[in-house]
Chain A
């Protein structure tokens, strides 16, 4: 049952992303002011949602579960690592799609806006997390260091979310998750936006699952190699 569900996430997310692209490109109308550039709204906010809230939120929760003695397991460490790896990809895609929208709208590819800057800092922070994981160390030592770093880095997420409220920024305020919880988008545009959130969240779930499985296989392979090496040394020692 679980395997079937896991295997169905990939194709389902691909179909939903395709439907989102079709609705976004051919069914929804162009904007009165922004023209066709408004169609980026069907990928950019969904990618930001996945990167900032789902991926790094999941990394923070898994890191916390690892650090808590009762739930300490390397599975949470692997899940956090997978979430960050995919999250970094989505963060970079968020910055790229935002930049593509910013060029015709603001007149520049990049501006030193509070939200843009804090998002870029977050991407660099989590690149640092991935670099930290590559430092050779015993599995639990690496897991502990990574978990602490992930929690310290995740502090940046609420700063990014509230940056458009705390500081004067060029970036528009939240369309859906605004303080009044009243979305400022309607009709087919709102439904397509909602679908994009579901599609990209499922895509993230599939990518994390695959990344987690690869990491598990790699560690099993490492353990098997280690067992073979120990057996070989023992055999050498047993020889007269």
Chain B
């Protein structure tokens, strides 16, 4: 399973590096979302500072939908399915590989957007001990849920409209917990920030396990 996962992760990341869809479409979308949020809130520094963690995660959340759709579009092509079958890849490994590739893409996006909120929203990282897990754990949770619900949403024609409806309500707890944890990392006094990190950990673990168990049967259908 792990060998297949590494193979699929490397393949997905190679495709992304060559096609540069993430670089030219998903990354600019995330940055654009940050700008639009700032336009909507106005130039008040205190307001932008307070809203920065939530707006950061909203931008990541919306971009993750695009990333999940992109990831599943690769998998949905008949040639890819045929290649997976011929190679005898374990569906659980395929799921894990797609999640790993998407986590890497989301982490790159998060780093760029973090620089964005530091420059645009006048915040700074006060505690990497909170900020680092607050960036990594949601990326795992969002990727696992995105790939799992993307495989539920059927073919590419319906997925683009259906996936946000299916996955955004499920990811609402991640948005809340990630915003709370990141605000602690940015220096705000957030009570129970540690417990929010635990919630992120549980979400990521639950959806990774569910994805490993369910991705195969769903792809078969």
B154 to A137, Cβ gap below 8 A? yes
Q: Is B162 an interface residue (CB 8 A)?
A: yes
Cα A128 to Cα B217 with chains together (Å):
20
**A152, B169: Cβ atoms closer than 8 Å:** no
Q: Are A140's CB and B221's CB within 8 A?
A: yes
Q: How many residues of A contact B (CB 8 A)?
A: 18
What sequence of 0s and 1s flags, for each residue 119-157 of chain A, a beta carbon within 8 Å of any chain B beta carbon?
001001101100110011100110011001100110000
Is B209 part of the contact surface with A, judged by Cβ < 8 Å? no
Interface contact B165-A145, CB-CB below 8 Å: no
Show 23 A/B contacts (Cβ-Cβ < 8 Å), sorted by A. Answer: A121-B172, A124-B165, A125-B169, A127-B165, A128-B166, A128-B169, A131-B162, A132-B152, A132-B153, A132-B154, A132-B166, A135-B153, A135-B158, A135-B162, A137-B154, A141-B221, A144-B217, A144-B218, A144-B221, A145-B221, A148-B152, A149-B149, A149-B166
Say yes or no: A152-B170 contact (C-beta < 8 A), given A132-B152, A132-B162.
yes
Produce 1/0 per residue, A79-101, CB < 8 A to B.
00000000000000000000000
Chain A residues lying within 8 Å of B153, measured Cβ to Cβ, are: 132, 135
**Per-position binary interface string of chain B over residues 106-130, scored 1 when its CB falls under 8 Å from any chain A CB and 0 otherwise:** 0000000000000000000000000
Task: Name the A residues within 8 Å of B7 (CB-CB).
Answer: none
A132–B165 Cα distance when bound, in Å, is: 9
Q: Taking A148-B214, A149-B152 as given, write out 8 further A-B residue pairs in contact, using a Cβ cutoff of 8 Å, ordered by the A residue number.
A: A128-B165, A135-B154, A135-B162, A137-B154, A144-B218, A144-B221, A145-B218, A145-B221
| Alpha-carbon gap, A124 to B165, bound state (A) | 8
Given the complex, which residues of A lie within 8 Å of B169, measured CB to CB? 121, 124-125, 128
Is B210 part of the binding interface, using a Cβ–Cβ cutoff of 8 Å?
A: yes
Question: In the complex, what residues of B have CB within 8 A of residue A140's CB?
Answer: 221
Chain A residues with CB under 8 A of B162: 128, 131-132, 135
Chain A residues near B210 (CB-CB < 8 A): 152
Q: How far is the CA of A40 from the CA of B221 in the complex (A)?
A: 46
Which residues of chain B are within 8 angstroms of A124 by Cβ–Cβ distance?
A: 165, 169
Contact A145:B170 (CB < 8 A) given known A131-B165, A132-B162, A140-B221: no
Interface centre among A128, A131, A148, A149 (most CB of B within 10 A): A128
Task: Determine the distance from Cα of A42 to Cα of B42 in the docked complex, in whole angstroms.
Answer: 46
Contacts of B170 in A (CB 8 A): 125, 152-153
Bound-state Cα–Cα, A141 to B219, Å = 10
Question: Which residues of A in the span 97-127 have a Cβ within 8 Å of any Cβ on B?
Answer: 121, 124-125, 127
Which of chain B's residues have a CB closer than 8 A to the CB of A132?
152-154, 162, 166
A122's closest neighbor in chain B, by CB?
A: B169
Q: Cα distance A137–B155 when bound, in Å?
A: 10
Residues of A within 8 A of B166 (CB): 128, 131-132, 149
Contacts of B217 in A (CB 8 A): 144, 148
Distance of B106 from chain A, by nearest CB (Å):
21
The CA of A141 and the CA of B154, in the complex, are separated in Å by 10
Hey, which chain A residues are within 8 Å of B149, CB to CB? Answer: 149
- How far is the CB of A119 from the nearest CB of chain B, in Å? 12
A176 to B149: give the CA distance in the assembly, Å.
Answer: 36
Closest chain-A Cβ to B166's Cβ sits at a distance in Å of: 5
CB of A237, distance to nearest CB on chain B (Å) = 29
B79 to chain A, nearest CB (A): 21
A152 contacts which chain B residues (CB < 8 A)?
170, 210
- Asked if B158 contacts A148 (CB within 8 A), the reply is no
For the complex, give the distance between the alpha carbons of A140 and B162 in Å. 19
Q: Which residue of B lies closest to A140 (CB)?
A: B221
Give the residue name and chain of the A residue nearest to B167 (CB): A128
Of all A-B residue pairs in the complex, the 4 with the closest CB atoms, nearest first, are A141-B221, A128-B165, A128-B166, A124-B169
- Nearest CB in chain A: distance from B103 CB, A: 21
| Distance (whole angstroms) from the CB of B212 to the closest CB of chain A | 14
Instruction: Report B-chain residues with C-beta under 8 Å of the C-beta of A144.
Output: 217-218, 221
Interfacial chain B residues near A125, Cβ < 8 Å: 169-170
How far is B157's CA from A137's CA once the two chains are assembled, in angstroms? 12
